[in-house]
Amino acid sequence: MDTIIKGKNKKNKRVLMGIALFLVVGVLAYFSMTKKRSLNIKRGEISVKTVSEDYFEDFIVFQAKVEPLTSTLINVVEGGAVQEIFVANGDIVKAGEPLVRLYNPNTELSYMNQETSMIEQINNLHKARLDLRNQELSLEKDRVAIEHDYVDAKNEYDLNKQLFEKEILAKNDWIITQEKFRYQQERKNIIQQTVAKEKEANAIQLAQMNRSLTIMEKSLEILRQNKKNFLITASFTGRLSSFEPVLGKTYNAGETLGKIDVMEGYKLLADVDEFYLDKVSEHQKGQIDFKGELIEVEVTKVIQEVKGGRFMVELKFVTDKDLDLQQGLSFGVRLKLSEKEKAVVVSKGSFYRETAGKWIFKLEGDKAIRQPIELGRENPLYYEVKSGLKPGDKVITSNYEDYKKVEVLNFN
């Protein structure tokens, strides 16, 4: 009679139960891994905007201040202490009008010594030039006297020659006459050569002396002009600004005491973020709101030097109207960087700070799903959407700080 063995059936049951448990755990793990991470939020906690197709204009907005069209700095030429102040900040001054008088005894004494030395050198040059002229005059007198002696000797020679030929004059007297004439002739030639060489040498010396005198006189004039630099005067007619000298305070050469604003028009001066350095250029147009009216402005100068992350831009007013402007007024400038063109756009928002424009939450029914996107240009109002969204899509543009690791937002 056969015997029933029960142990083998129990072992098969345990194997089947293990396989079933493994499959259940695997299925749960799969669903757990593939399930999108979600978060329940209230609809009122977010800001929703609609993607649209509109005319996109690349522009920037920045603040600019009204400045005079032309200004000139009031610089200290000769350092010294402030002795007198003749005008006050904000005054209208005329070209040449005294502003401040400085005093520096050491510099003034040095100028006096230099002036005395220069005058002495000029006098010495004048005396040397006079000596050369006297020397020339003396040589000329000698030349005239020798010419006279030569003429007398020649006349005597001509007369005695006739007498000798007629045998009236003795031979010894004729020989003496010939020798005398030869002597005067050689003497005249020598003095003529000497005078010519002296005149040539004197001409060179006189030219050098005249050049030296010209230089010395110009130096003396500059020195005397520098002495006048202790009195600082207005170089242009205009209004004083930033003019705050202090009595008794010492200012060094090159320091600025203020500036003169020439009241012949105004310009706009702005600090712009360095991000736009390669986008802003001369002749670009913009607008400002002046008393409810849009006034056109134009970039006239871009100063490429970056300081503190910003660079300077100058703009002019493009209008025939007489604007009632004042220095220091501030305007918001809307500067156009490109022409308008059709594009898919989405409103700017805080979401960009966390996503860098790589993704966004797009609404689908009662939820919002993470959507990959690609953004292009931007202006203060919109981003240009290059891919990932289409007109009519609704997206969340508010802060994503709490949603960085979330893929689905469920609305309560």
**Fold adopted by 36-57+341-411:** 2.40.420
pLDDT tens digits for range 245-261: 999 898 988 899 999 88
> What pLDDT is recorded for position 332?
92
How confident is the model at residue 29, as a pLDDT?
A: 46
Name the residue among 373, 364, 371, 372 with its Cα closest to residue 411. 364
Please write the tens of the pLDDT for every residue from 115-152.
Answer: 788 888 888 888 888 888 888 888 888 888 888 888 88
Identify the pLDDT of residue 87. 92
DSSP letter string, 300-348: EEEEEEEETTEEEEEEEE--SS-----TT-EEEEEEE-S--EEEEEEE-
DSSP label of 358: S
pLDDT for 56: 83
Instruction: Say if CB 368 and CB 409 are below 8 A apart.
Output: yes
- Residues lower than pLDDT 50 in the chain: 1-5, 27-35
End-to-end CA distance of the chain: 73
CATH number of 60-97+242-336: 2.40.30.170
Q: What is the dihedral of CA 160, 165, 170, 172, to 10 degrees?
A: 70
Q: Name residues whose C-beta falls within 8 Å of residue 159's C-beta, 6 or more positions apart in sequence.
A: none
Ordered alpha helix ranges (H), 166-282? 171-227
